[in-house]
Chain A
Amino acid sequence: MVQTMKILINSKEKSVPPNTTVAALLSQMEINARYIAVELNGIIVDGQELARTVLQPGDKVEIVRFLGGG
């Protein structure tokens, strides 16, 4: 049986494998990390830490895209 844990992404529940990193999550969601910001439990994750930051059960992740148009 494959183990999963639940996290919240932009207020929606999602199941991911244990030890998933933020970078892996973005990759799985096909999101280019170059022009987004990731907030994890209220703290903005440094771009260089995305691959080292391991998600924990119940983590709240917010993904925000920079929009340059106006």
Chain B
Amino acid sequence: MGNVNEVLEGRYSRQILLPRIGVEGQERLGQTSVLVLGCGALGSVMAEILVLAGLGLVRIVDRDVVEPSNLQRQALFDEEDARLCMPKAEAAQRRLRLYNSHVRIEGIVADMNPGNVARFLDGISLVLDGTDNVETRYVLNDACLRSGIPWVYGGSVGTAGIAMTVMPGLGPCLRCIFPDPPAPGSLPTCDTVGVLGTAPHLVASLQATEAIKLALGDHSGAGRLISFDVWTATFTAIDVKRQESCVACGRGRYEFLDRDALSWVTSLCGRNAVQISPPRDSSLDLSALAETLAEVGQVAFNGLVLTATLEGHDVVIFPDGRLLVRGTTDKTLARQLAARYLGY
């Protein structure tokens, strides 16, 4: 065993040199199990950093496959992965096992929802947010508060980024800052306004740093909300306070876990269509949405419903927030379109 330890101390020698880590800290990293939820631009960078840094377990959950449009910023994947439509969790697992054979790596191809989130959190010390939509983050926030597991929020669109550590019982949670999720379709997404690779890379670096700090018992990042724009090179850090009135961490009501996960996605029997219901009562501004979507696809708005061709798929969007994808029974595809274009 001494031999193995010598090899590992050599491998990790540069970070062991850091007084904040040392041999003891390295051992703690090796005993830490991390869930990376979502393996897009944020998740792939975070997973890579943590596998290289020698954490004990890196579990990666993602519902997507690699597409050519990912390759501009997601360096864990290559052209072959895109050609084969490889599930990201699988492609990441294969690649990362080549990077570091001393780390346990679990790639799980799944769509996290209130019904299955507990399974992914099992045995996990902390969670890194690499998700691509609003709703999943609120589910994650509730699930982590309920289980007392710290998580690190991260988001990036355009040239902007944001990150904050949520430490249950110690600092504010996501709902202390954003009490209610932004309305579906109201947020710009990477698929509607684009994203520069450096912005999510920087967010992911900050999140991975927080993960390493949390693994070492350093909770100083809790509630420190970092936001920036890489293009204008402006950086802000705010110390957010816990809100006593917060529904989730203040009153302990985990509303996003109460939902019936199955109600999100419905195959419409006999119609060769899949419907995504909005995660809560919504009312969409369809004329505004039509303008946004016109940038990325063919759109028609008849005053009642919006019809559009997005990525070759015919969709119908209703004022109550429902999204109907026609000509498919593929629920994952429908979820992807909802996340990309409506942000839920």
Asked if A30 lies at the interface with its beta carbon under 8 angstroms from chain B, I say no
Q: How large is the interface on A (under 10, 10 to 19, 20 to 34, 35 or more residues)?
A: 20 to 34
A46 CA to B246 CA in the complex, in Å? 10
B160 contacts A67, CB within 8 Å?
A: yes
Q: Chain A residue with minimal CB distance to B154?
A: A70
A67 contacts B179, CB within 8 Å?
A: no
**Which one of B186, B190, B238, B239 contacts A69 once the chains associate, using CB atoms below 8 Å?**
B190
A58 CA to B296 CA in the complex, in Å? 44
Q: Chain A residue with minimal CB distance to B194?
A: A69
**Which one of B38, B40, B187 contacts A66 once the chains associate, using CB atoms below 8 Å?**
B187
Residues of A within 8 A of B195 (CB): 69
Query: What's the least CB distance linking B231 to chain A, in Å?
Result: 14
Residues of B within 8 A of A62 (CB): 236, 238
B162 contacts A64, CB within 8 Å?
A: yes
A68 CA to B182 CA in the complex, in Å? 9
- If A35-B182, A44-B176 touch, whether A64 touches B225 (CB-CB below 8 Å) is yes
B182 contacts A66, CB within 8 Å?
A: yes
19 A–B pairs (Cβ distance < 8 Å), ordered by A: A34-B183, A35-B183, A46-B179, A46-B245, A62-B238, A64-B227, A65-B227, A66-B134, A66-B155, A66-B162, A67-B157, A67-B187, A68-B343, A69-B132, A69-B189, A69-B190, A69-B195, A70-B130, A70-B156
Query: What's the least CB distance linking B164 to chain A, in Å?
Result: 9
Query: What's the least CB distance linking A26 to chain B, in Å?
Result: 15
Asked if B241 lies at the interface with its beta carbon under 8 angstroms from chain A, I say yes
Asked if A37 lies at the interface with its beta carbon under 8 angstroms from chain B, I say yes
Query: What's the least CB distance linking A18 to chain B, in Å?
Result: 26
- If A35-B187, A37-B178 touch, whether A70 touches B38 (CB-CB below 8 Å) is yes
A62 CA to B136 CA in the complex, in Å? 25
Residues of B within 8 A of A44 (CB): 176-177, 179, 240-241, 243
Query: What's the least CB distance linking B61 to chain A, in Å?
Result: 13
Q: Which residues 24-47 of B have a CB within 8 angstroms of A?
A: 38, 40-43
